[in-house]
Amino acid sequence: MKKLFALLALAGVANGVAAADLVGNPKAAENKNAMCIGCHGIPGYRTAFPDVYQVPMIGGQSQKYLENALNQYRKGERKHPSMLGVAAGLSDQDIADLAAYYAQQK
């Protein structure tokens, strides 16, 4: 049993290191951004759910900012219902890739 706990603890440490060391691949995000582009890719787009508001353009934002925002949505620290749903389905690698993709845009 001790060996099992040690293995699980080691796996947790390895996963934490791997997530921190992820490198975003903008090319890979081209097949992952369908849920993003529908709102964030339309200049001047306004949405009516849950309230009417101007959707922010995310192209050109800093990669770190985008990663932090998506992780905060995934953890429930940011509360927009649509973004909570989108971020919940993203892996750490998806977040890194999408952040790299949008950060390189101008």
pLDDT bracket for residue 102 (50, 70, 90): very high
54 burial type by CB count under 10 A (0-12 exposed, 13-18 middle, 19+ buried) = exposed
Q: What is the pTM of this model?
A: 0.76
Domain 23-103 has CATH 1.10.357.10: no
Q: Return the percentage of the chain with pLDDT > 70, whole number.
A: 81
Q: Where are the domains of the chain?
A: 23-103
What's the pLDDT at 20? Answer: 64
Give the model's confidence band at 100: pLDDT under 50 very low, under 70 low, under 90 confident, else very high.
Answer: very high
